[in-house]
Amino acid sequence: MHGLLLSIPVFLLALTFHEVAHGYVAKRLGDPTAEEMGRLSLNPAKHISIFGTILFPLMLYLFHSPVIFGWAKPVPVDARYFRNPLRGMMWVGMAGPAANFILAVAGALVFRALEVLISGPSVLLELTVMFIFINLILGLFNLIPIPPLDGSRILTGLLPRRLAVEYLKVERYGFLILVFLLYIGVFRKFIFPAAIHLMELMVS
């Protein structure tokens, strides 16, 4: 329970930066939608999804799932503003995971500084490790190329247009595919070990 309580503000912060990064890149590419709707805000309340941020993770926790994850309310993006909609969405998609990886690196730098200043176990060190880990998890998870995750936007921007349009039709089944992958342990077997390995490299 102690770890869960510590993880909640870290999780919300990571989700917030992830979504703001999407909106910021969209704005730089000519789409003002996120800004006009007040979604370029670092206030986590602006990005909370009742189901994705609260109810779904809570349900996983109550059912003792080995993996607990969730998502924020997606930042609105209108690809019609982009010169090349598919390529524009690729850059917008890359922005979210990139923000999480940057935060993870920043967290690792803070951790190394704290190690010098603090001797022995510390809640602050524990919180920093959790910050790094959660951002790595979010970054890696969102790179999975299953619509509507960011990895699918990146892959769509790299595919020939006809293949990209066909590939995006998978989005209607995306949530079910993700639940199935959770059920068979793909996240526990691949995403978690990869995040742990990266975190060890960053803080060692």
Q: Which residues are catalytic?
A: 19
Question: Is the CB of residue 129 less than 8 Å from the CB of residue 203?
Answer: yes
pLDDT, residue 63, reads 76
Instruction: Render each residue's pLDDT in the chain as its tens digit; 204 residues.
Output: 556 667 788 889 999 999 999 999 999 999 999 999 999 999 999 999 888 888 888 887 777 766 667 788 999 999 999 999 999 999 999 999 999 999 999 999 999 999 888 877 788 888 999 999 999 999 999 999 998 899 999 999 999 988 988 898 888 898 889 888 888 888 888 998 999 999 999 988
- Examine residue 85 and say whether the peptide bond preceding it is cis (omega within 30 degrees of 0): no
User: In degrees, to the nearest 5, what angle opens at C-alpha 148 toward C-alphas 48 and 101?
Assistant: 70
| Matching residue, tokens 């309580």 | 5
Spatial CB neighbours of 195, under 8 Å, sequence gap ≥ 6: 133, 136, 137, 140
Selection from 104, 178, 99, 98 nearest residue 136 by Cα = 104
Q: Are 132 and 199 in contact (CB under 8 A)?
A: yes
Q: Determine phi and psi for 78, rounding to 5 degrees.
A: -110, 100
Report the 10 Å Cβ neighbour count for 55: 12
* Predicted local distance difference test score (pLDDT) of residue 2: 53
Structural domain harbouring 58 = 2-203
- In the block, residue with structure tokens 């609105």: 76
- Cis status, amide bond into 148, omega within 30 of 0: yes
Alpha-carbon dihedral of residues 70, 5, 38, 152, nearest 10 degrees? -20
3-state DSSP assignment of residue 76: coil
Domain count within the chain: 1
- The pLDDT score that the predictor gives to residue 87 is 93
* Cα–Cα dist 85/138, whole Å: 25
pTM of the model: 0.91
The answer to whether residues 59 and 133 touch, using CB atoms and an 8 Å cutoff, is no
